[in-house]
Structure 1
Amino acid sequence: MHLALVIDDYLPHSTRVGAKMFHELAIEFISQGHNVTVITPIVGQKAALTQDSIDGVNIWRFNSGPIKDIGKVKRALNETLLSFKAWQAIKNQVKHDSFDGVIYYSPSIFFGGLVAKIKQRCLCPSYLVLRDLFPQWVIDAGMIKQGSLIERYFRLFEHYSYRQADTIGLMSEKNVEVFQQANGQNYPTQILRNWAALKPYELEDNSLSIRGELGLEGKVIYFYGGNIGHAQDMANLMRLAKSMCHYENAHFLFVGQGDEVDLINNLAVEWQLDNFTYLPSVNQDEFKAILANIDVGLFSLSAQHTAHNFPGKLLGYMVQSLPILGSVNEGNDLMDLMNSHNAGFITVNGNDDDFLHNAISLYHDHQLRSSLGVNAYSLLKNEFAVATIAHNVLEALRR
C-alpha cells in the first residue's frame, strides 16, 4: 500500500511527541513493505511545496503560516488555512492511484478538507488518530465559553474532520466512552493506544551527559519533557518541586515549550527553588540522551479535563525503563492501567499529599525505581508497541 500520513508537525524540526510517534509509525509501515508519504506544513519556505525524505519516509512540506507557540487568534487563522494551502500545494502531485489510504492526526482539527480531497481523488479509506478532544479541553479549562461563537466555529471543523474518517482511533476505553457520549454512535471508533518503538537509547561512552552539563551528579532527577501548557497544569508539578526542596539530592528538570513556561520560571523565582532547572526544547536525539540520564519520568494532567488523555511523553519514559510519577483528572483510566501494572505511581490531581508521598518513596529507594521501570517497559511491549499499532491501523483501512 501507498499511505499518506497527515500531521501538522514533523521531523526534523519538531520536538513534539506526536511528530516522533508518526515518524516511528511511518518507519514501521516501510519495514512491512509499504510506501509512505508524510504531508505536513512548514513555516517560511518560499516554494509552495518541497519534497525530501528521512529514514526512507517521503515528506511533502507545504508552506504555512506559524501554528505553534504564537497567539491564539493568529494560530486559529493559520490552522484554518491548513487544508486549503496543503491541497493547493499537492493537488498536481496526487493522481488517482497515488494513495491507498490516508492516516491523519488530530490535533489539528483542520485537516478534514485535505483528507476529503485525497479520498475523493484516490477513492481510498482514511483513519483518524484522535489524540486530543479539542475544543472540549479548552472549554473544560475555561479558556473559551461553551455556546460561544468561537466554540461553534471550532466544532464545525471538528465534526467535519470526524466525518472524513472511516475509522477513528482513540487512546483508551474511557476516551471512547467520552467521545460517544458527546457524538453518539455516529462515527466508527476503536481503541488505538499511543505507541513507541521498543529500542532504548544507549549513551555513547564519550557523550556528555545532562548530569555533567548541569552539575547534577549524584542527584535523583525528576524529569518532565514535552508541552508546558494549560492542559498539563504545570503549577501542580511546581508545587511538588517546592515540597521536595528539603531533599538535598532531589532535582526537577523540565524541558519543553508552551504557554506556561513563564509561569514555571516565575514560580521558581518566587519560591526560590534551587532544585529546579528549565531548558527549552531540544532535538529528538538530545531528548533521548536526556531520558537515558534521569531517574523518574514526570507528568501531569489538568484536573479540569473531562477527556482521558494518555500523554505521549510516557512512552519515552517507558522505553528507557523509567518509573512514572504523575497525576491525572478524576476517573482517568490511565491511573488504573499504570498502577495495576506497577509501572509507577499515579494519583488524582489535587491530592498533593499522595503525590508528594510517592515522590519521596521513589527518592529513597533505588530498587523501587528500578523495579517499577522494568514493569513500565513490559507494559510498553504488551500494549504500546508500534508494530501492533501499525497492524491495527492497516486492518481498519482494509475493512
Structure 2
Amino acid sequence: MNKLNVLFLTLSSMENINERGIYTDLVRELASRGIYIHVVFPRERRLGLPTELEIIDNIKLLKVKTGNITETRFIEKGISTLTIENQYLKAVKKYFGNINFDLIIYSTPPITFERVIQYLKKKHQSKTYLILKDIFPQNAVDIDILKNNSFIWKYFRNKEKHLYEVSDMIGCMTKGNVQYILNHNPYIDRNKVEVFPNSIEPIDRNNISIINNEIKEKFQIPAHLTLFIYGGNLGKPQGIDFLIRVAENFYKIENSYLLIVGSGTEYETIKNYIDSRHPKNVNLIKSLPKKEYDQLLRSADVGLIFLDKRFTIPNFPSRLTSYFEYSLPVLAATDKHTDLKNILIESNSGFWCESGDLDSFIHLAKSLADNNVLRKQMGLKGRDYLEDNYDIRKTANIIMKHL
C-alpha cells in the first residue's frame, strides 16, 4: 500500500490520543492500519495553551488555540464557532502545508468547516467524508435556541447545505439519520449517504466482569442499592427539566440510587436544585476522568439517556456505546423521532419512554430495579449488539473502502 495521508478535523479534544472515545478509537484504529493520520482539534482559550504540533508514531496531533466552544454561553460559543474555520485553515497551511491528503474526514459539530474543506479538496484533489453527528441549525430551532427563518438561521442553513454539497460521502449515525437528511435535503445524491455508527474499541468482557465497589464507597453510594447512572452532557438538548422531575420523584423507586455525572450549561441548574431540595438517594458529580467514570459504569446497574421531547431530528447519544460496553440495560427518555427506541427494542437491551412521561419512566425504572435477572439479560443483549454493530474495527472498514 502506498503511504496514505488522512486529515481529520474535529471539535473533540484529543489531548490524550490513548484515551478511549469514539474519535480517539477511530484515529488509533486507522493508524494501526498504516495510515498517516493528521488530527486537528481545538485548545479552548480557557486552557491558556498555545497552538502546537505533537507527533506520536504515524499520528500527528495539531492542537489549535481557539475561543471557548464548550461549557460557555451561546453567544460566545457562536462567535468561537464562526472564527474556528479561519483558525483551522491557517494552522493546517502552516503545519501541514507540504502534505497531500488522500482523504479529509470531519465531524459535526460544527457545520462551519465548509471553507476549509473546499480549499483543501481543491488543492489536493482529496476525497471528503463528513461524519454527521449533529444536524444544525434544526436542532437549535427544535429547542428554541434559534428562530426558524431568522437571519442567523438562514446563515447557518446555507452553511449546512454547502457542507453537504462539498462532501463526497456523508456518514450518518443511524438509518433514521440517513432518511432525515435525504428527506430534508432532496438535492443530495442518495448514493453518497450511508450509515457510519458511533463506535468504540470494546474492552474485553473478561476485563469488566470483576466489580470493585471501592468507587461506590468513594462517592458514598450504598452498595446494596440499584445504581442508575446518567453520564454525559448536561445542556438544553438533554431536557434538563424532565431530568430534575425524575430526581424529584426518584424516591418512588425503592432500593435505588440516581447518580448524575457530567457538565454543561445546565449543570448549575441541577446543582442548585439538589443543594436546595436534597432529593432522596440522588447525587450530582462534576465530570470525571474517563478512567474513573468507567469504574463507575462497571459498578452501575442501569444506564440512563435523556433528550428533550421537542426534537424533530433523530438524535443518537454516543453514551449508548459506553452503557452497552459495560453490559448495562438502558432506560431512555427521549423525543419520539429518535430511532434509539427502535434499537433498544430490536436488541432487547432496554426500555424507552417519551421524555416528560414521568409515570412511564417510574414504572420502567421500577421494573429494572426489582429484577436483577432482567437487568443482566438486557445488559448482555446490549453488549452483543455493541460487538455486532458498534465495533470500531467494522466502522473503520467503512472509511477504508473510500481510500
Kept in 2, the 8 Å contact 1:109–1:134? The answer is yes
Matched residue, 2:272: 266
Matched, 1:386 2:392: yes
Displacement, 1:59? 0.4
Q: CA deviation at 1:394?
A: 2.2
1:219-259 deviations in whole A, cap 9, x for unaligned? Answer: 21111111111111122233223322144531111111111
1:194 matched to 2:194? no
Runs of 5+ consecutive residues of structure 2 not aligned to the other structure: none
Gap change, CA 1:51 and 1:112, over 3 Å in 2: same
CA 1:298 to 1:205, structure 2 compared with 1: closer, same or farther past 3 Å? closer
Distance 1:119 1:49, change over 3 A: farther
Structure 1 counterpart of 2:161: 159
Q: Distance in 2 between matches of 1:212 and 1:74?
A: 39
Q: Over residues 7-49 of structure 1, what are the superposed CA-to-partner deviations in whole Å (9 max), with x where a residue is unaligned?
A: 01223379xx9x8211000111122221211111113478863
Cα 1:80–1:266 shift into 2, 3 Å = same
Contact 2:172/2:195, CA 8 A, preserved across alignment: yes
Distance 1:13 1:208, change over 3 A: farther
Q: Mean alpha-carbon deviation: is it higher for 130-139 or for 231-240?
A: 231-240
Deviations 1:169-199 (A, max 9, x none): 1111221222122211425311111111111
Secondary structure of the corresponding residue to residue 78 of structure 2? helix
SS of equivalent residue, structure 1 residue 381: helix
Question: Cα–Cα, structure 1 residues 104 and 65, in superposed 2: closer, same or farther, change >3 Å?
Answer: same
Deviations 1:237-283 (A, max 9, x none): 33223322144531111111111112222333454303111111122
Q: Secondary structure at the match of 2:38?
A: strand
Distance 2:378 2:209 in 1: 25
Report whether the alignment pairs 1:299 with 2:336.
Answer: no
1:82 CA displacement: 1.0
**What is the TM-score when the length of structure 1 is the normalising length?**
0.92
The residue aligned with 1:28 is: 29
CA contact 2:208–2:326 (8 Å) conserved in 1: no
Q: How many correspondences in the alignment?
A: 394
Question: Contact 1:325/1:346 (CA < 8 Å) preserved in 2?
Answer: yes
Q: Does 1:351 align with 2:357?
A: yes
**1:74 pairs with 59, 63, 76, which one?**
76
Task: Output the CA distance in 1 between the equivalents of 2:170 and 2:338.
Answer: 20
CA distance in 2, matches of 1:219, 1:311: 26
- 1:203 Cα offset (Å): 6.9
Secondary structure of the corresponding residue to residue 197 of structure 2: coil
1:28–1:240 CA distance, 2 compared to 1 (3 A)? same
Matches within 5 A, 1:13-24: 20-24=21-25
SS at match of 1:292: helix
SS at the partner of 2:299?
coil
User: Quick check: 2:51–2:62 contact (8 Å CA) kept in 1?
Assistant: yes
1:316-395 alignment, distance < 5 Å? 316-395=322-401
- Determine the C-alpha separation between the residues in 2 that align with 1:329 and 1:205: 35
> Which residue in the other structure is 2:53 paired with?
51
Which secondary structure state, in structure 2, belongs to the residue aligned with residue 346 of structure 1? strand
3-state DSSP of counterpart to 1:92: helix
Cα gap change, 1:264 to 1:256, in 2 (>3 Å)? same
What letter matches 1:209 in structure 2?
A: E
**Residue 129 of structure 2, aligned match among 105, 127, 133:** 127
After TM superposition, the runs of 4+ consecutive aligned structure 1 residues lying more than 6 A away are 45-48, 203-208
Please give the alpha-carbon distance, in whole angstroms, between the structure 1 residues aligned to 2:394 and 2:306. Answer: 27
Rounded Cα–Cα distance in structure 2 between residues aligned with 1:204 and 1:345: 23
Contact 1:96 1:121 in 2 (8 A): no
Give, in angstroms, the shift of residue 161 of structure 1: 2.1
Question: TM-score under structure 2 normalisation?
Answer: 0.91
- State the Cα RMSD in Å: 2.4
- How many percent of aligned residue pairs carry the same amino acid? 25
Superposed CA offset, 1:187-214 (max 9, x none) = 5311111111111584799988320112
Q: Is the 8 A contact 1:10 1:20 kept in 2?
A: no
Offset of 1:352 from its aligned partner? 2.1
Matched with 2:219 is: 214
Q: Distance in 2 between matches of 1:351 and 1:208?
A: 33
Question: Aligned with 1:80: secondary structure?
Answer: helix
Matched to 1:70, the amino acid is T
Seen in structure 2, the aligned counterparts of structure 1 residues 3 and 262 have a Cα distance that, compared at 3 Å, is same
Given residue 38 of structure 2, which amino acid in structure 1 is its aligned partner? T
Matched, 1:237 2:243: yes
Matched with 1:10 is 13
Which residue identity is paired with 1:250? S
Match of 2:110 among 108, 113, 117: 108
8 Å contact 1:96–1:123 — kept in the other structure?
no
Residues in 1 aligned to 2:148 and 2:352: alpha-carbon distance in whole angstroms: 30
In structure 1, distance between residues paired with 2:180 and 2:112? 21
> Does the residue aligned with 1:93 lie in a helix, a strand or coil?
helix
1-side partners of 2:288 and 2:23: how far apart?
18
